[in-house]
Amino acid sequence: MMQVTISELLRSGAADLAPHSESARLDAELLLGEILSRGRAQLAAHGEDPVEPQNVQAFRMMLARRREGMPVAYLTGRREFWSLGLRVTPQVLVPRPETETLVESALELLPRAHAARVLDLGTGSGAIALAIARERPLCAVVGTDLSPEALAVARENAAGLGIGNVAWRRGHWFDAVPSERFDAIVSNPPYVAADDPALAALQAEPREALTPGITGLEALAQIAAGARGHLLEGGFVALEHGADQAEAVAALLASHGFRLIRSLRDAAGRPRVALGFPETNFP
């Protein structure tokens, strides 16, 4: 039997996924690269190499699961975030590029030359906590989550990356750190409204990490209510939110004593992060 080549498989795979994915070619490359243990550059350089029948079958099985809505990250078990290779499972939300805006905002305010304490609420895979900890090795970071399965993934990621300045706690928002205070509180909480049609395309991901309730603001409201009591003097809070929630989140922070609030946009130009300071001057 004539063997199919890498290039042929990628072409057919991309065509197969085109009705189901906005990044069909990239998806096909990542899936085949996982099976063949090759990066995208290697696939391109060896496009005429034949692919063994068992690998062709494995690729087609992955394509079928992708067509059903399974994220590529769950199929490969990996996702890159802030240049960190993270393990992901269906027990954690797949880290998104727009969340890097949250990391950037925190890093701009956190010191490089001396220690600070950072709290990451709802850490999931540990993406935010680990990115901050890697960039600010003098910081002591605490990542919390209600899910023990998520915390297990976060711990595994920390161990795999050799990042030791993060502690992991289980609990619902501030319940995990009842009497502790921090220089920075960051969070990418669930913020999708329960009736948002976008949830239909995200069925493979943990629902509790996507939607907190009817309005989508419930988790953000809880964090805004408790944040000031867990901040050290000069501290700040940074919250990711939906593109249409900037005004609502600013109002929540203002109602709980945050005097200065800044809205930041992601790489696509959409409002994505609210920064809140209890003091009257930005650092």
**Residues 113-156: pLDDT tens digits?**
999 999 999 999 999 999 999 999 999 999 999 999 999 999 99
User: Does the fold of domain 92-277 match that of domain 6-68?
Assistant: no
H helix or E strand, kind and range, residue 238: strand 231-240
Sign of the alpha-carbon torsion through 97, 203, 20, 245: negative
Residue 6 near residue 48 (C-beta atoms within 8 A):
yes
Q: Is 84 helix (H, G, I), strand (E, B) or coil?
A: strand
- Give CA–CA dist 228/172, Å, rounded: 17
Q: What percent of the chain has pLDDT over 70?
A: 98
CATH number attached to the domain at 6-68: 1.10.8.10
> Residue 143: beta bridge partners?
120, 168
- Give CA–CA dist 211/195, Å, rounded: 9
pTM above 0.85, yes or no: yes
> Residue 21's pLDDT is what?
87
pLDDT tens profile 202-236? 888 899 999 999 999 999 999 999 999 999 999 99
Phi, psi angles (nearest 5°) of residue 138:
-80, -10
| Domain 92-277, CATH homologous superfamily name and number | Vaccinia Virus protein VP39 (3.40.50.150)
pLDDT tens profile 73-85? 999 999 999 999 9
Local confidence band at 1 (pLDDT 50, 70, 90 cut-offs): low
Taking the domains of the chain in order of start, what are their residue ranges?
6-68, 92-277
Strand pairing class (231-240; 271-277):
antiparallel
> Residue 119: beta bridge partners?
142, 185
> Which letter does DSSP use for residue 5 in this model?
B
